[in-house]
Amino acid sequence: MMHQEEVSSSAYEASPAEVQSVILDWVKATEAFHHRYANLTEVINKMQANARRHPAQSKTRLRKLIMLRQHMSDVLMTLLLDMTGEKSGRSAQPSKPGQLRSHACLLDELNREIDTELTQVITVAQA
């Protein structure tokens, strides 16, 4: 007689309140990210216009901001692909709360980096 063992799942199941909290954190981080992306684009456009009038303006700063904006675009595309499950031929799976939390943390980190860069640009422009 064969004895079948029950396989118990040790996976953690998040409560609806925890899932809602994670989703709200992700939404806030995403909205802040988009807002900063728009601000960064506006600053870059102004700097490019000023660079035409004043070629001596710091092109290094402008290049750094453009690279940061490209990095932001790359991160956002990666996160979107991760959310849809389309990379590496995976079938679409709903995102897990831990995945959303890590996305929110990454976006928050980038938001801080963008804030630092924008603050430096504004400080230099005011001087």
- pLDDT (tens, 9 = 90+) of the chain, 127 residues, equals 455 544 454 566 768 888 788 888 888 888 888 899 899 999 889 888 887 776 665 788 888 889 999 988 888 888 777 777 655 555 545 556 667 778 888 888 888 888 888 888 766 655 5
- Contacts of 86 by beta carbon, 8 Å cutoff, 6+ apart: 92
Distance in angstroms (rounded) separating the CA atoms of residues 77 and 33: 13
Most distant CA pair in the chain, distance:
88
Domain coverage including residue 20: 16-126
Tell me how crowded residue 26 is: count the other CB atoms within 10 A of its CB.
22
Residue type, 1: M
The answer as to whether 4 is a domain residue is: no
The answer as to whether 111 is a domain residue is: yes
Distance in angstroms (rounded) separating the CA atoms of residues 25 and 106: 12
Number of domains in the chain: 1
The answer as to whether 8 is a domain residue is: no
Distance in angstroms (rounded) separating the CA atoms of residues 17 and 125: 45
The answer as to whether 66 is a domain residue is: yes
Whether the predicted model's global pTM rises above the 0.85 cut: no
The answer as to whether 7 is a domain residue is: no
Distance in angstroms (rounded) separating the CA atoms of residues 109 and 37: 14
Distance in angstroms (rounded) separating the CA atoms of residues 101 and 106: 9
